[in-house]
Amino acid sequence: MAGARKPVVEVRRSQRRRRTVSAYRDGERVVVLIPDQFSRAEETEWVDRMLARLAAREGRPVRTDAELLQRAARLINLYLAEHGPAAVPASVRWVTNQNGRWGSCTPADRTIRISHRLQDMPDWVIDYVLLHELAHLIVPSHNASFWSLVCRYPKAERARGYLEGVASVAGVPLTD
């Protein structure tokens, strides 16, 4: 399922384009054509939107940072709502340098990083790792109150088993 990974994106700006944006797949890359006048913010927004559209058309999930943030918002709402802003991260990103970890959280600057190794995994496993890291914003250590937050997620145990299985097959001691 390598195709579910976030693809390499090449953005091409065109002076002839006014408002229209289009995207197509070119081998491993996705080319996104945008009007030259677009700001950086518009570029980011449209790249995410076009990747989602392309993925929907191709019938597979899209894994962008924006999607990750939406996912976090939904999980906070479902499981950590009473903590309010304490559960809200400053940023959530996919990263490729998480050796030995599925995810990590820095409570000091409220940033969360999720390993790209999860990109091909089912949604409910990604949700578990993300909720785990969000819970660290509230409780930094793995104590009883931390686990009581994480275990609100009905598939927490199942997801932990899934990840342990993947780690043992891969022969790497991956932790959370």
| Binding footprint of Zn ion on the chain (CB under 5 A) | 176
As measured in angstroms, the least distance from the Cβ of 169 to Zn ion is 21
Burial level of 56, CB count in 10 A (0-12/13-18/19+)? exposed
When the beta carbons of 63 and 132 are compared against Zn ion, the nearer one is 132
When the beta carbons of 47 and 76 are compared against Zn ion, the nearer one is 76
Q: Which residue is nearest to Zn ion (CB)?
A: 176
d(CA 65, CA 48): 8
Q: What is the residue whose two structure tokens read 């996104």?
A: 32
Contact 31, 23 (CB under 8 A): yes
When the beta carbons of 31 and 139 are compared against Zn ion, the nearer one is 139
- Residue from 3, 59, 1, 69 nearest 30 by CA: 3
As measured in angstroms, the least distance from the Cβ of 147 to Zn ion is 10
As measured in angstroms, the least distance from the Cβ of 3 to Zn ion is 30
In Å, what is the CA distance from 62 to each residue of 6, 7, 124, 125, 161?
Answer: 7, 9, 14, 15, 24
When the beta carbons of 67 and 176 are compared against Zn ion, the nearer one is 176
Count of CA atoms in the C-beta half-sphere (13 A) of 58: 16
When the beta carbons of 8 and 90 are compared against Zn ion, the nearer one is 90
As measured in angstroms, the least distance from the Cβ of 97 to Zn ion is 18
H or E stretch covering 115? strand 111-115
